[in-house]
Amino acid sequence: MKLYDGGRAPNPRRVRVFLAEKGIAIPMVPVDMGAMGHKSEELTRRNPLQRLPILELDDGTIITESIAICRYFEELRPEPVLFGKGALGKALVEMWQRRVELNFYAAVAAAFRHIHPAMKEWEVPQVPEWGEANKPKAVEFMRLLDKELADREFIAGDEYSIADITALITVDFMKPARIEMPSDLAHLRRWYETVAARPSAKA
């Protein structure tokens, strides 16, 4: 088993943080995305979408998409639970994971990919107006999260989950996307300081 890893890119980092929370260590194959290593013939054979991370099992089975990879490891090692406990817990984590990914992560990614000069050859065509249009969407969702976090410790409830991992990576991704967290979001800031202080956040 080996994981083709993309370094500082947000999706590979999501999987590394998840694995660190689980205490799982697997061989990593570093891929230089800056040099377009993810578009190599070798990796394109494994993932025609030319994206990372890529998990290759010992029998040659390929799993892509960061959340799918995380779900695979959740089944292999259920503890600590990161996808929720019981029917309600799992549903709430799934709900918030999707909300964060679709309304926050996607907005920040769009801003970065369509505005940052380094992405000019990656995002074709690069549409700066679309990037700018997504910045207020990210801020709007942060305000929603701030209200939700007024009465609970983590995004999907009282326990840390994959939804927190996705949101942590998204907040860190805001810096290169040139989006700032509004200073009045005290609950969101408290949450961020808590999750960013976990050892796994350094993965």
How many Å apart are CA 2 and CA 56, to the nearest integer? 5
- Evaluate whether residue 70 is within a structural domain: yes
Mean of all residue pLDDT scores within the chain: 96
Counting every residue written for the chain, the total comes to 203
Peptide bond into 117 cis (omega under 30): no
B/e letters for 94-108, b = 16+ CB within 10 Å, e = fewer, are: bebbebbbebbbbbb
How many Å apart are CA 49 and CA 124, to the nearest integer? 15
Per-residue pLDDT band at 124 (split at 50, 70, 90): confident
- Evaluate whether residue 81 is within a structural domain: no
Q: What percent of the chain has pLDDT over 90?
A: 92
According to the model, what pLDDT value does residue 34 have? 85
How many Å apart are CA 171 and CA 127, to the nearest integer? 22
Number of domains, the chain: 2
Give yes or no: residues 96 and 24 share one domain: no
Per-residue pLDDT band at 120 (split at 50, 70, 90): confident
Query: With contact defined as beta carbons under 8 Å apart, do 127 and 166 qualify?
Result: no
Give yes or no: residues 64 and 91 share one domain: no
Q: Residue 187: pLDDT above 90?
A: yes
- Domain of residue 69 covers 2-76
Residue 187 to residues 64, 151, 152, 181, 183, Cα–Cα distance (Å): 34, 9, 9, 12, 11
Give yes or no: residues 52 and 114 share one domain: no
β-partners of residue 62 are: 56
Q: Residue 14: pLDDT above 90?
A: yes
Is this model's pTM higher than 0.85 or not? yes
Q: Residue 41: pLDDT above 90?
A: yes
Give CA 149 to chain center in angstroms.
19
Q: Residue 29 class from Cβ within 10 Å (0-12 exposed, 13-18 middle, 19+ buried)? A: middle
Per-residue pLDDT band at 51 (split at 50, 70, 90): very high
Per-residue pLDDT band at 64 (split at 50, 70, 90): very high
Q: Residue 195: pLDDT above 90?
A: yes
Per-residue pLDDT band at 123 (split at 50, 70, 90): confident
Q: What's the angle, vertex CA 74, arms to CA 63 and CA 27, rounded to 5? A: 55
Give yes or no: residues 93 and 56 share one domain: no
Give yes or no: residues 96 and 128 share one domain: yes
Indicate the DSSP class of residue 105: I
Give yes or no: residues 178 and 159 share one domain: yes
Query: With contact defined as beta carbons under 8 Å apart, do 98 and 106 qualify?
Result: no
Q: Residue 86: pLDDT above 90?
A: yes
Query: Averaged over 132-160, what is the pLDDT?
Result: 98
Give yes or no: residues 114 and 176 share one domain: yes
